[in-house]
Amino acid sequence: MRTATFFRTVTIGLIVLVSGLATSQPVQAERIQDITQISGVRSNQLIGYGLVVGLDGSGDQTSQAPFTTQSLENMLQQFGVTVPANVRPQLKNAAAVTITASLPPFSKPGQNIDVTVASIGNAKSLRGGELLMSPLRGADGNVYAIAQGAVVVGGISAQGKSGSSVQVNSSAAGRIPNGATVERKVPGSFGAGNTLTLNLNTPDFTTATRVAQVINKKFGAGTAAADDATSITVRAPLDSNARVAYVSEIQQLDVNPGDAPARVIINSRTGTVVIGSDVRVSAAAVSHGSIQVSISENPAVSQPGAFSGGQTAVVPQSSVSVKENGGHMFKFGPGTSLDQIVQAVNQVGASPNDLVAILQALKQAGALHAQLVVI
């Protein structure tokens, strides 16, 4: 059950600050580069499996993570070292890990990318470990990079002999800067055909229309056309050098994005409430109060009389009180703006929890003209 203090992580004053910034500043033009992505120009996710060695006794416990021992035995066989079948090495300085990386667009063989390693066994820490050479594969199963290097761990963990321990962040995961070398180029469609497609980061019909208009104004009518709320098709030269320069010019053009839809965002976990600048409220009267129930226990000791043969007993005594705070009523006029909403709520001393309840009630009554989004 949520308590009244659940939403107190964000105050009404903060909501006023956010809304004031949204309403006081005019809409600024943004570069096409900042609001669009070129179709076919994307990063690709890579994943691999490997071993981290050189740990100071903080590796996997092989009795609970047998795959670590199996992986090490397979690696040793590649170097001509055969482990007897009846021998199960008890490793403390090795850990099995997953390796992930993001392969940027247009990456070429020989370039380096960062990788992230994370323990999949019961290793306590990867600090000081070294990742052995491991292939990184794409969704198609092909190897696109090879990873190897020293693991950098940001977390700290320490444990005493008595069992007391201290941990800051996680030490079972780390990164290897420039830890993978690209081995294969990802085929792309950037240079194919005589057109390219710009996809908006936030779909909007108005923004898509304005992007096409700005491009046509710069390069001539018919150069760009908005396909839908997300995509704009643009004619492009066939020569690769000319196409790169052409895209560079398009990305530097400024465009005024369309107004964002009226939304009220409520984060139920942190209590954050964000109200968009275009939120409006129809005429409505709101009264909001709360009931407080207090229960206290005051146990008393009952002593038997002298020579009565009775026993001392604890007698429970409960005190229950119900208090209803005086509700405040305030009235919204038609077309009330965001500033007026927050000012009215502030005047009655409502908390962020109260604000959420008021907004939900206004939405149910049909007086709140905005999307109420709870995340």
Mean pLDDT by groups of 10 residues along the chain of 375 residues: 38 38 56 91 93 84 74 79 72 88 93 94 86 93 94 71 60 91 88 89 92 93 93 92 93 89 76 74 66 54 68 65 54 62 64 71 77 78
**CA-CA-CA-CA torsion sign (337, 374, 353, 361):** positive
Are the CB atoms for 354 and 345 separated by under 8 Å? yes
Q: Where in the chain is the domain with CATH 3.30.1370?
A: 191-255
Task: Please list the residues that pair with 181 across neighbouring strands.
Answer: 112, 146
Beta bridge partners of 372: 264
Report the relative pairing of strands 130-137 and 112-119 from DSSP bridges. unpaired
Kindly tell me the burial class for residue 348, based on how many C-beta atoms sit within 10 Å of its own C-beta (0-12, 13-18, 19 or more): middle
Residue length of the chain: 375
Give me Rg for the CA atoms of the chain. 32
Provide the pLDDT for residue 218. Answer: 92
Contact 314, 302 (CB under 8 A): yes
> For residue 14, what pLDDT is reported?
37
Distance CA 345, CA 331 (A): 11
Cβ-proximal residues to 369 (8 Å cutoff; 6+ apart), any chain:
262, 279, 280, 281, 282
**The pLDDT of residue 347:** 65
* Identity of the amino acid at 335: G
Q: Which CATH architecture has domain 191-255?
A: 2-Layer Sandwich (3.30)
The token duo for 71 is 């992986």
| pLDDT for the residue numbered 207 | 93
